[in-house]
Amino acid sequence: MLHILDLAGQHVKSLRAHSASVLDISMDVTGDFIATASIDGQVVVHSLSGAETPSFNMKRPVRTVALEPNFAKSSTRSLVSGGMAGNLVLHEKGWLGYKETILHSGEGPIWQVRWRDNLIAWANDLGVKIYDTHSQSRITFIDRPADSPRADLFKCTLHWQDESTLLIAWADQIKVARIRARPRKSASASGLPPLLVEITAVFQLDCMIAGIVPHPLSHSASSSNALMSDALKKSNGSGSVRSTASAAPALTAFLVLAYTPPDMSLLTGNEAVSDPAEQARKQAERPELRIISRAGEELAADALGITNYERWNCNDYVLVDIEAVPTKATAPDTSEERYYIVLSPKDLVVVKPRDWRDHVAWLVERQRYEEALEEIERRSGQADAAGEKDTIDAVQIGQKYIEHLISEGDFVKAARLCPKVCGQDTKRWEDWIFVFAQKHQLQAIIPYIPTESPTLGPLVYEIVLTYFLAHDRQALLQTIKTWPKGIYDISAVIVAVQSELEKAPSTSTTKPSGPDTVILMECLAELYTLNRQPGKALPYFLRLRRPNVFDLIKENNLFTDVQDQALLLVEFDQELREKRKQAGEDVDTDPVSAITLLVNHIHSIPIGRVVQQLHSRPFYLYLYLDALFQKDPHLTSTYADTQVKLYAEYAPRRLIDFLRASNYYNLEEAYNVCSERDLVPEMVFLLGRMGNNKKALNLIIERLGDVNRAIDFAKEQHDDDLWEDLLRYSETRPAFIRGLLENVGAEIDPIRLIRRIKNGLEIPGLKGALIKILHDFNLQVSLLEGCQTIMNGDCADLVLKLHKNQTSGFFLSAKTPCPICSKPISQPANGLILLFLCRHVVHAHCVDRGDELPHQPDPTLVELGIGGQPGLSGKIAFTAILKAKITQGCPVCHKKGEGERT
């Protein structure tokens, strides 16, 4: 029975063509035709896609068969076979069927035949021969090694590495034959075949060879092989592998199926022994796959697990190689994936070169998990780029690695590995966190616990916060600030922190004492803020003196909650300003945040309640009332008298501005306050308001001695008696007389002032003052004359322009629209049209009371003396009648003057 399997071991098809064991199988390059040779003497060609099944009866057991390489496309459908009859037969298809040609005979059984391109190689008891189908001649003979064991016990294996290289393995020896073209001159002269064969390498192994195939090596391996070859030459071939010829390094090595004979007598030919124990069958050893370099060095070896291997002989094994078709998953820097098939009477073993997955498995077996994970990470990028689905579970390896690290006590390294291993798996994260918690090593994994992508269960985060509350409260505060809200139960954490705060030594409502108390208060303030309870967080922020108190109040509209804490807010703000001032900042020009907050929200924070709280701190009260007054003077009308005292105490320079701007304070009380502090300018202003101008003027003259202020005060009052008093006070004061002379104008008649100067009174600068008066007078006269001249010229120009505009003509057509009704002037045809000097032309009926205007006389009737006077006098008379009726003038200009749109 012939069974056909794919490379995955799946059954494809089964064929029954022989009645005895099948000894050899040959398949063409397309995989559609399979030839089998059997002990029953039959050679059968099977087609997987067609019904054609030619068979050949060779009468004797057939040991080997080989199809033409391109059998499926060849017209001759040739194959070659040989066996115990000793004949090598070529079967070729012709018009009348297959014909048989004996290529060789008479040298014993044909043990194996292989066909590549135009070359056929076969082995018999004497050696190996090669036949050229093109020249139809045998080109070489390679003799069997001397002292070689029996061919029927240790077979010869042939394998074409390429079109010109044949690998020969017989017993324990390997030969490499190279076929090349013979020089044309020598071939034509001696009648020799066109091809010749050279033996390029011979290797002697310490085992029997059950199969041989080429095995490709990477560039690095080839380089190492070259170094091994050099070392081997220097040591004269010492070692288990003996080389009889030096071979140059190549990109391929040899993969051999090694068989160690259990009975060495088979090698020597001394099989007849008298000892019955020695005559008993000995058990064979496990076969091995060995990689032999071109330099003869054994690079690797691996034993095969074959069923009943102890019962099989060397000839029971077969080794073949298969080049799989490249797929998209194949890495770009590798060739086709190679498979090797090992056959035994009971097993079919698929052999692949070890790859990085095998290396990872080897590392895992030896608990070298870190190296395994690094290898997986390095290879994963290549697998993703090639679209290959990775079959190695890196997570499982990572789990084992974490378990190993925990068992070794390396919790820090185990925690560092968790993000890679757990990834987005929340359950795996939680399981490992609980393991760390049970081992009392929670601090090791806390830095790696994810809060987003993925988000774990609330219990995990609460466990972490509880740990921080007990061991590291500073970390607790930082964690509360950085963790996103909603991933844990804030209320439960608040209860736990509040409980710890109650145990603290001091929980005063003013200022906290002790670092732990401060941190716990900060935690509670942050937690209440996160829980959307800013009202409960506010007392803690105030006690902690945090600058964000004002922002918290504004953002959460907590003005009603602070209406009874105005003094505390202002004191807190003043402390902050003092700290900033000590740090070198300029805070004098900055508004007081607390005062600004109280003033901007008087509807939520009543003024009366704030004044009552700040009454014990007059400076704060001054700041508050001043800010209110700057916002709206009417807001502080009730506290105007208090403001006078506060300004006099804390801002005397601003008192005069307040007195001028406010009308709600008591004048007498304000005067008394200013009198107590000897604020003369403010007293003068108040006396002026009370109507006591003489006393005020007396204060200016006696206390201030400022003639300019006295003059300004007299100007403000507009009182002639006050001017008289000022002149009288000035009669004996030359400085005042000079000041008055320099400020003469509408209020002071210079003649009146000069006449009051007593004879003999010495006035410094009198001459200059008089000259200035005369100069100013002449300048004033000159300005008046100049202005009159300019005005006369402008009037004349405007009159000329008006006359020119009124007497010049302008274009008017029948389609010109009326500015009032927007209809053409020519409609109606006999209607009266009015032309004004402003050049506006309108219908008579569009004028105000236009229906009352007389109709224009008919020229024909006028000439007959009916309906009006003829000639120019009649037109002037009619125009005078119309002008008398139209009282508002041009209706267009009238509407423009009233601001109406025409």
Query: Would you say residue 902 has pLDDT above 70?
Result: no
Q: Tell me what pLDDT residue 25 has.
A: 92
User: Which amino acid is located at 635 in the chain?
Assistant: L
Residues 523 and 601 in one domain: no
Query: Would you say residue 525 has pLDDT above 70?
Result: yes
Q: Let me know: does 85 contact 60? Beta carbons within 8 Å.
A: yes
Least confident piece of the model among 44-58, 705-719, 818-832:
705-719
Least confident piece of the model among 176-180, 243-247, 468-472, 643-647:
243-247
Euclidean distance between CA atoms 229 and 247, whole angstroms: 8
Q: Let me know: does 90 contact 81? Beta carbons within 8 Å.
A: no
Q: Let me know: does 66 contact 26? Beta carbons within 8 Å.
A: yes
User: Is 836 part of a structural domain of the chain?
Assistant: yes
Q: What are phi and psi of 479, to 5 degrees?
A: -65, -40
> How many structural domains does the chain have?
5
CB-based burial label for 496 (10 Å; 0-12, 13-18, 19+): middle
Residues 524 and 567 in one domain: no
User: Is 64 part of a structural domain of the chain?
Assistant: no
User: Is 825 part of a structural domain of the chain?
Assistant: yes
- State whether the Cα torsion 861-866-871-875 is positive or negative: negative
User: Which amino acid is located at 570 in the chain?
Assistant: V
Average pLDDT over residues 443-467: 90
Average pLDDT over residues 338-353: 86
Is beta strand 242-243 parallel, antiparallel or unpaired with respect to 252-259? unpaired
User: Is 136 part of a structural domain of the chain?
Assistant: no
Q: Which residues partner with 292 through β-bridges?
A: 254, 298
Q: Tell me what pLDDT residue 811 has.
A: 80
Query: Would you say residue 226 has pLDDT above 80?
Result: no
Residues 254 and 349 in one domain: yes
Percent of all residues in the chain with a pLDDT value above 90, rounded to a whole number: 18
Average pLDDT over residues 336-359: 82
Residues 605 and 541 in one domain: no
Q: Tell me what pLDDT residue 269 has.
A: 55
- What lies within 8 Å, CB to CB, of 764 at 6+ separation is 734, 735, 738
Euclidean distance between CA atoms 756 and 773, whole angstroms: 16
Residues 464 and 536 in one domain: yes
Please identify which residue in the block is written with the tokens 């689905």.
389
Q: Tell me what pLDDT residue 250 has.
A: 46
Q: Tell me what pLDDT residue 486 has.
A: 86
Query: Would you say residue 140 has pLDDT above 50?
Result: yes
Residues 623 and 574 in one domain: yes
Mean pLDDT rounded to a whole number for the chain:
80
Query: Would you say residue 331 has pLDDT above 50?
Result: no
Query: Would you say residue 328 has pLDDT above 60?
Result: no
Least confident piece of the model among 6-15, 104-113, 292-301, 545-554:
545-554
User: Is 394 part of a structural domain of the chain?
Assistant: no
User: Is 753 part of a structural domain of the chain?
Assistant: yes
Residues 698 and 617 in one domain: no
Q: Tell me what pLDDT residue 463 has.
A: 92
Query: Would you say residue 234 has pLDDT above 50?
Result: no
Q: What is the pLDDT of residues 852-869, one digit of tens each?
A: 788 777 777 767 667 667
Q: Tell me what pLDDT residue 738 has.
A: 64
User: Is 852 part of a structural domain of the chain?
Assistant: yes
Residue closest to 577 by CA, chosen among 588, 569, 568: 588
For residues 328 and 710, which has the higher predicted lDDT (pLDDT)? 710
Query: Would you say residue 273 has pLDDT above 60?
Result: no
CA dist 537 → 209, 218, 480, 525, 531 (Å): 88, 70, 14, 4, 10
Q: What are phi and psi of 104, to 5 degrees?
A: -160, 150
Euclidean distance between CA atoms 708 and 599, whole angstroms: 40
For residues 748 and 227, which has the higher predicted lDDT (pLDDT)? 748
- What lies within 8 Å, CB to CB, of 578 at 6+ separation is none
The DSSP letter of residue 246 is -
Q: Which residues partner with 42 through β-bridges?
A: 57
Provide the pLDDT confidence category of residue 241 given band limits of 50, 70 and 90.
very low
Q: Which of 724, 744, 764 corresponds to the end of one domain? A: 764
- What lies within 8 Å, CB to CB, of 447 at 6+ separation is 415
Q: Which residues of 795-818 are buried (b: 16+ CB within 10 A; e: fewer)?
A: eeeeeeeeeeeeeeeeeeeeeeeb
Name the 3-class secondary structure at 613: helix
Least confident piece of the model among 332-341, 560-569, 864-873:
332-341
Q: Tell me what pLDDT residue 388 has.
A: 55
> Which of 323-337, 367-381, 662-676 shows the highest mean pLDDT?
662-676
Q: Tell me what pLDDT residue 14 has.
A: 87
Average pLDDT over residues 744-765: 62
Q: Tell me what pLDDT residue 236 has.
A: 35
Percent of all residues in the chain with a pLDDT value above 70, rounded to a whole number: 80
User: Is 661 part of a structural domain of the chain?
Assistant: no
Token pair recorded at residue 370 = 């870190």
For residues 336 and 824, which has the higher predicted lDDT (pLDDT)? 824
- What lies within 8 Å, CB to CB, of 850 at 6+ separation is 843, 844
Residues 469 and 529 in one domain: yes
Helix (H) or strand (E) holding 477: helix 473-482
For 655, half-sphere exposure in the C-beta direction (CA atoms, 13 angstrom radius) is 28
Q: For the residues of 708-777, what is the DSSP string, one character each?
A: HHHHHHHHHHT-HHHHHHHHHHHTT-HHHHHHHHHT-SSSS-HHHHHHTSPTT---TTHHHHHHHHHHHH
Q: Which residues of 255-290 are buried (b: 16+ CB within 10 A; e: fewer)?
A: bbbbbebeeeebbeeeeeeeeeeeeeeeebeebbbb
Residues 531 and 594 in one domain: no
Residues 349 and 259 in one domain: yes
Q: Tell me what pLDDT residue 65 has.
A: 95
Residues 254 and 343 in one domain: yes
Q: For the residues of 374-421, what is the DSSP string, one character each?
A: HHHHHHHHHHHHHTPPP-S-HHHHHHHHHHHHHHHT-HHHHHHHHHHH
Query: Would you say residue 508 has pLDDT above 50?
Result: no
Q: Let me know: does 346 contact 308? Beta carbons within 8 Å.
A: yes
Q: Which residues of 126-154 are buried (b: 16+ CB within 10 A; e: fewer)?
A: ebbbbbbbeeeeebbebebbeebbebeeb
Angle at 617 between CA 615 and CA 621, to 5 degrees: 65
Provide the pLDDT confidence category of residue 38 given band limits of 50, 70 and 90.
very high
Provide the pLDDT confidence category of residue 247 given band limits of 50, 70 and 90.
very low
For residues 251 and 461, which has the higher predicted lDDT (pLDDT)? 461
Q: Tell me what pLDDT residue 113 has.
A: 95
Average pLDDT over residues 519-536: 86
Q: What is the pLDDT of residues 677-691, one digit of tens each?
A: 888 778 877 877 787
Query: Would you say residue 499 has pLDDT above 70?
Result: yes
Angle at 610 between CA 609 and CA 615, to 5 degrees: 105
Query: Would you say residue 334 has pLDDT above 80?
Result: no
Query: Would you say residue 246 has pLDDT above 60?
Result: no
Euclidean distance between CA atoms 7 and 325, whole angstroms: 11
Q: Could you list the residue range(s) of the whole structural domain that residue 859 is in? A: 814-898
Q: Tell me what pLDDT residue 244 has.
A: 35
Least confident piece of the model among 113-117, 615-619, 828-832:
828-832
Q: Which of 598, 631, 664 corresponds to the end of one domain? A: 631
Q: C-alpha 416: how far from its chain's center?
A: 24
Residues 259 and 342 in one domain: yes
Q: Let me know: does 243 contact 203? Beta carbons within 8 Å.
A: yes
Q: Tell me what pLDDT residue 730 has.
A: 65
Q: Let me know: does 351 contact 341? Beta carbons within 8 Å.
A: yes
